[in-house]
Amino acid sequence: MVARSLLYEGKAKIVYTTTEPEILLAHFKDDATAFNAQKRGSIVGKGEINCTISTVLFQYLEKQGIPTHWLESISANQMRVRRLQILPLEVVVRNIAAGSLCQQTGLPLGTVLKQPLVEFYYKNDSLGDPLLTSDRLFLLELATPEQVNQLQQMARQINRYLSEFFQRCDLTLVDFKLEFGYDAQGQLRLGDEISPDTCRLWDVAETDTNRRVMDKDRFRRDLGNVETAYQEVLRRVLAQGNEG
């Protein structure tokens, strides 16, 4: 399969069309951005690490019956994916209070939520990806009530599977962001990536609030040792992926 032309370049990935119309090639970059690209940098080896972690997790979720866009890995930082009509929504699932939930509600960092919180954000860089109420979501016709129901159910199911997986890696899945879209057959599938860029992961063995951070918050908050944390997550995910 040959990459034909650049379809889209995002903050963390470049997507190419291929000779097959329904198949795209996703190339994972080392570039890192935060706070709607106001902070820019690079995490050495991130492209390969995130592509490999996403591959293991997409394969795992497919085994559990979750449809994803993943088809095949073709190199350490490139994968073949189904072309999806991506919904302009970021679906965030939270198990523990962190990040914008703490900033916007005053909940203390680390508060364990009684049940997972599923939130929808408008995927729109120029507006800064704002949090949506369901009324705003319907006002903007971003999804129908049926779609919202289906997305919520899938997000909760994915949360159960990923939380279990990461628990076996001695990592707590604090929160994460998902993107969904429809394939050519009209099937709703999980797209994008699942990686330390899109998940908050805390080391179970570590109680120090900074040392336990194993995800992109190390870059966002200048905590140092970003590459080491990403490499350690990869090592644990690969060890667990090989088990099952």
| Phi, psi angle pair for 80, to nearest 5° | -90, 130
Question: Residue 216 interacts with ligand C5P (CB under 6 A)?
Answer: yes
Question: Residue 89 interacts with ligand C5P (CB under 6 A)?
Answer: no
Question: Residue 61 interacts with ligand C5P (CB under 6 A)?
Answer: no
Question: Residue 129 interacts with ligand C5P (CB under 6 A)?
Answer: yes
Alpha-carbon gap, residue 201 to 211, rounded angstroms: 11
- Contacts of 172 by beta carbon, 8 Å cutoff, 6+ apart: 95, 96, 166, 201, 202, 203, 204
Q: Whole-number minimum distance, CB 197 to ligand C5P, in Å?
A: 6
Nearer to ligand C5P, 84 or 196 (CB): 196
Binding ligand C5P by CB under 6 A: which of 91, 92, 118, 162? Answer: 92
Question: Residue 29 interacts with ligand C5P (CB under 6 A)?
Answer: no
Nearer to ligand C5P, 144 or 167 (CB): 167
Q: Is 63 exposed, middle or buried (0-12, 13-18, 19+ CB in 10 A)?
A: exposed
Nearer to ligand C5P, 18 or 120 (CB): 120
Residue nearest to ligand C5P (CB): 99
Residue type, 189: R
Interface with ligand C5P (CB under 6 A), residue total 14
Stretch touching ligand C5P by CB under 6 A, among 60-68, 99-107, 139-147, 148-156: 99-107
Angle among Cα 202, 197, 10 to the nearest 5 degrees reads 170
Q: What is the DSSP string of 53-108?
A: HHHHHHHHHHHTT--BSEEEEEETTEEEEE--EE-SEEEEEEEE--HHHHHHH-PP
Alpha-carbon gap, residue 37 to 125, rounded angstroms: 9
Question: Residue 213 interacts with ligand C5P (CB under 6 A)?
Answer: no
The footprint of ligand C5P on residues 174-203 (CB under 6 A) is: 175-177, 198-200
Widest distance between CA atoms in the chain: 50
Question: Residue 43 interacts with ligand C5P (CB under 6 A)?
Answer: no
Site residues for ligand C5P per CB under 6 A:
90, 92, 98-101, 129, 175-177, 198-200, 216
